[in-house]
Copies of this chain bind each other. A is one copy, B any other.
Amino acid sequence: MHFTCMFIICHCPQIKLLIQICHWDIHIYNCHKTQQSLLSSSSGYSNYRGVLNWCVVMLVLSNARLFLENLLKYGVLVDPVQVVSLFLKDPYSWPAACLVIVSNVFIVVALYTERQLSKGSFSERVGFLVHFVNLAVMLTFPPAVVLVLPSVTPVGGAFALGIYTILFLKLYSYKDVNLWCRELSTVKARKLVRSVSCEHKVCYPGNLTIRDMYYFVFAPTLCYELNFPRSPEIRMSFLLRRLFEMWMIPIIQSSMKPLEVPNHLLWLMFFYWFFHSSMNFTAELLRFGDRQFYKDWWNSESVTYFWQNWNIPVHKWCLRHFYKPLLRKGFSKIASQSAVFFLSAFFHEYLVSVPLRMFRLWAFTGMMAQLPLAWFVGRFLRGNYGNAAVWISIIIGQPFAVLMYVHDYYVMHHKQEDV
């Protein structure tokens, strides 16, 4: 049957021609079909990985000359041996570094308190009090040092305060999670919990070790967990690529003249350096599995989306230790959201005002201005227009706030020189 059919096709000229025509029709006659251009928003296309590479190439090429000059002139930007030896010679002229070293005291106090609590030597009330004092001192002692000691530079001050703020958030999370563990295990189900969820895993009192504490302190996250997901091994090529970036980006940045290059570009490079290169480097070194340090904030179509996605460690912390507890206490969504923005505004102001020794509330105002902006963008703009609005607010808003401080700082120090 099959063969007969073939025979008919091959020997009937009309059908053969028809097949040939159909073939031609598809391959030569019709070379067009209805379709949209990729750049039209209706095409649904979104793969612009190449545009990102373009930005990097443009950045490197446009700074290539200065970059090479700096490389030949200074070589590696920071010589670690020299820094350490300088520090050891005269530690008191490095107050910021001293502050960072002192921070270990607070870590040890938090661990000690939790150990006493787990043994029952501290009542919950005493434990809470010790934690409260410990955290309060962490927030007030470093700014006091920065404001009193004139030898602290703005950069050194900002660095030390940044470290203390990160530690504050980490130890707050540490206290919370250990409390949750106790709340669960005080019930008679302690054995049950162990038998169910503790195979090959660390269980509550077992996590209160120096090693576990310092792993959390160095891990690129602000949220404590008894069993962090771990990656199977350290990938050397990944580690070296991130190390290369960590070393390259500051060199490229230093080749740009500040206030000439858009300040915004420096922020973008800082973002990549900190949130991609440095955090991934640390995570790879510690075999820390969760590398979600940012989400796709570059596609933000609303201000809220931007704030929820550009800094995942802080966002996660706010959600877990501030927003959700507020909700559980019966606050409304709007009130809790505003409280998060208020907290964020406080820390922004804290990290800028104290090192510069100027209290101007620009950073605070800038953060609080996000609330009406978020309302406006969410209400009136969608899609690519919303995205463009978010970009404009980042490109214009941020340098504006920085410029206010630079202006005031300049005026203040210029006046002093005149006197």
Interface residues of A (CB under 8 A from B): 14, 17-18, 21-22, 24-25, 28-40, 45-58, 61-62, 177, 180, 184, 187, 189, 192-193, 196-197, 221, 223, 225-231, 262, 272, 276, 279-280, 289-300, 316, 320, 384, 387-388, 391-392, 395-396
CA distance A53 to B187 in the complex (A): 55
Min C-beta distance of A373 to chain B, whole Å: 16
**Pair B21/A61 contact, Cβ less than 8 Å:** no
Residues of B within 8 A of A62 (CB): 262
Indicate if the CB atoms of B395 and A37 lie closer than 8 Å. Answer: no
Inter-subunit contact B29/A177 (CB<8 Å)? yes
Q: Contacts A28-B320, A187-B17 given; indicate if A391 touches B57 (C-beta within 8 A).
A: yes
Residues on B with C-beta less than 8 A from A33 are 229, 289-290
Query: Which residues of the other chain, B, contact A300 by a CB distance below 8 angstroms?
Result: 50
A381 to chain B, nearest CB (A): 12
**Closest Cβ neighbor of A392 among chain B residues:** B57
Considering the complex, give the chain B residue whose CB is closest to the CB of A390.
B50
For A180, list chain B residues within 8 Å (CB).
24, 28-29
Which B residues lie within 8 Å of A196 (CB)?
Answer: 18, 21-22
Number of copies: 2
CA distance A58 to B187 in the complex (A): 59
CB <8 Å contact, A189 and B17: yes
- Report yes or no: B32 in contact with A221, Cβ–Cβ below 8 A: yes
| A46 / chain B contacts, CB cutoff of 8 Å | 46-49
Q: A17-B189, A39-B272, A289-B32 are in contact. Are A299 and B49 (CB under 8 A)?
A: yes
Instruction: Name the contact of A35 in the complex, choosing from B51, B291, B396 (C-beta under 8 A).
Output: B291
Q: Is the CB of B53 within 8 A of A391?
A: yes
Q: Are A50 and B298 in contact (CB under 8 A)?
A: yes
Closest Cβ–Cβ distance, residue A63 to chain B (whole Å): 13
Contact B53 A291 (CB under 8 A): no
- With A33-B290, A48-B48, A189-B14 known as contacts, the answer to whether A54 contacts B229 (CB < 8 A) is no
Contact between chains at B31 and A298 (CB < 8 Å) = no
Instruction: Find out whether the CB atom of A32 lies under 8 angstroms from the CB atom of B280.
Output: no
Query: Which residues from B are CB-within-8-Å of A295?
Result: 38
B292 close to A58 (CB less than 8 A): no
Q: Which single member of B39, B225, B294 contacts A29 (CB below 8 Å)?
A: B225
Contact of A31 among B55, B230, B316 (CB under 8 A): B316
CB proximity of A240 to chain B, nearest CB, Å:
14
- Contact indicator B51/A48 (Cβ below 8 Å): yes
CA distance A414 to B30 in the complex (A): 52
How far apart sit A356 and B201, CA to CA, in the bound complex (Å)? 76
How far in angstroms is the closest Cβ of chain B from A197?
6
- Separation in Å of the A175 CB from the closest CB of chain B? 14
Q: Which residue of B lies closest to A299 (CB)?
A: B50
